[in-house]
Amino acid sequence: MSNPAQRANKLFVQTFGTQADELYCAPGRVNLIGEHTDYNDGFVLPAAINFHTAIVVKRRDDLRFRAVSDAFPGEIEEWIFGEEGTPVKNHWSNYLKGFTAAMATSGLTAKGLDLAVVSNVPMGAGLSSSAALEIAFGTAVNDCSQIQLSPLAIAQLAQRGENQFVGCACGIMDQMISALGQQDHALLIDCLDLDSEAVSIPDSLSLIIINSNVQRGLVDSEYNLRREQCEQAATHFGLESLRDLDLASLEAGKSELTAACYKRAKHVVTENRRTQNAAWALESGDIGKVSLLMAQSHASMRDDFEITTSEIDYLVEIISEVIGNRGGVRMTGGGFGGCVVALVDHELTDSVVSIIEQKYADKTGLEADIYLCSASDGAKRIDN
């Protein structure tokens, strides 16, 4: 009974005393490159991963939602569509209520649902467990009420819910990749016009995610601060966003910016270039180039965006020594802890695992979790 769908069905019966009708799943994500570029209208290159949130539902004839999650046993959350109230700080149901609130403010309506949630996306690890929850729920609501929103529109509503109800100023990357991911592919997303292009991940590469298990502190406040600093830099140059800034103009205006704003802008401007180049390199199988670009991305997050930690830097350092230019490695996600992603030649997988086992705990006192992943499809209804 370890699969989330089976567990969600069981939880539903235990909670509501009847069988659920439908099952929906949405994946977590790993970002290969393009960090903190989404809310700057830039480029990102994430992949959906084979860790999922499953939601089983039964339609109701009224506007009431009743939700239960196996991560928070014994609590049944209830609300009426359009009457979500105010969020309770850090409560899991905020992500669901944020979605229905965003629908209501967009002039949409949906019928109520009874639902049970089970996920195997590691929570608080920077692999977007919250986007997987929002998108699984949004897909269920859309399908059960036959609203016919596109996956992109579901992602936009989920982001709006997170921005306006949950209070996190996140970009669109996590919701988009959870809704639109493609098996064996990453997506190059242009966050300005929300166009996306599938980029195949070569068969020769393993996708390894290493959870540093560093407790992520101050994530929300530091995230929002980075976003403000980027916006200040864009405003200084009279731009809507850093998307339109080039490195020469940034260097020319350096002395007029605070040191922090200059460094944040430098990361974003250079990361946008790296992300587009990495997509082309991956598509053409140029792993040496991917390796270099991921290394540069990590250094930029460490030195300019200042969102890595010493434990994460150490993981990247020891993995880099093992893989050389036969793969890439960098921190992934919002930062201040969380995970490292490595994209490496299959033959090197065992060496990566063993170097982590040999060195990481000794150096940091923490045990890393290692997930051998594959790129998977985005959210969908599954026969229940």
Residue 127 is assigned to a ligand binding site = yes
Taking alpha carbons only, the member of 92, 51, 106 closest to residue 377 is 51
Q: Which of 98, 171, 337, 338 binds ligand GAF (CB under 6 A)?
A: 171
Number of other residues whose CB lies within 10 A of the CB of residue 58: 18
Q: Do 180 and 196 meet the contact criterion of CB atoms below 8 Å apart?
A: yes
Q: Do 331 and 22 meet the contact criterion of CB atoms below 8 Å apart?
A: no
Rg (CA), the chain: 21
β-bridge pairing 113-119 and 64-69: parallel
- Residue 271 as a binder of ligand GAF (CB under 6 A): the answer is no
Place of tokens 């609501």: 141
Question: What is the rounded end-to-end Cα distance, in angstroms, of the chain?
Answer: 15
**Neighbour-count burial for 73-101, b at 16+ CB within 10 Å, e otherwise:** eeeebebebeebeebeeeebbbbbbbbbb
Residue 240 is assigned to a ligand binding site = no
Stretch that binds ligand GAF, among 36-44, 148-156, 234-242, 246-254 (CB under 6 A): 36-44
Distance (Å, whole) CA 79 – CA 64: 6
Residue 69 is assigned to a ligand binding site = yes
Query: Helix, strand or coil for residue 327?
Result: strand
If binding means CB under 6 A, how many residues of this protein chain bind ligand GAF? 11
Residue 241 is assigned to a ligand binding site = no
Minimum CB separation from ligand GAF for residue 43, in Å? 11
143 is catalytic: no
Find the catalytic residue in 114, 174, 304, 313: 174
Residue 170 or 180: which CB sits closer to ligand GAF?
170
Residue 119 is assigned to a ligand binding site = no
Residue 23 or 32: which CB sits closer to ligand GAF?
32
Minimum CB separation from ligand GAF for residue 67, in Å? 22
β-bridge pairing 46-59 and 22-31: antiparallel
Residue 23 or 279: which CB sits closer to ligand GAF?
279
Residue 37 is assigned to a ligand binding site = yes
Stretch that binds ligand GAF, among 31-39, 115-123, 323-331, 375-383 (CB under 6 A): 31-39
Q: Which of 26, 32, 35, 79 binds ligand GAF (CB under 6 A)?
A: 35
Q: Do 28 and 52 meet the contact criterion of CB atoms below 8 Å apart?
A: yes
330-359 positions binding ligand GAF, by CB under 6 A: 333-334
Distance (Å, whole) CA 350 – CA 38: 33
- Residue 170 as a binder of ligand GAF (CB under 6 A): the answer is yes
- Residue 174 as a binder of ligand GAF (CB under 6 A): the answer is yes
Instruction: Catalog residues that contact ligand GAF under the rule CB under 6 A.
Output: 31, 35-36, 38-39, 170-171, 173-174, 333-334
The annotated binding site for Mg(2+) is made up of 130, 162
Residue positions forming the annotated binding site for substrate:
35-38, 223
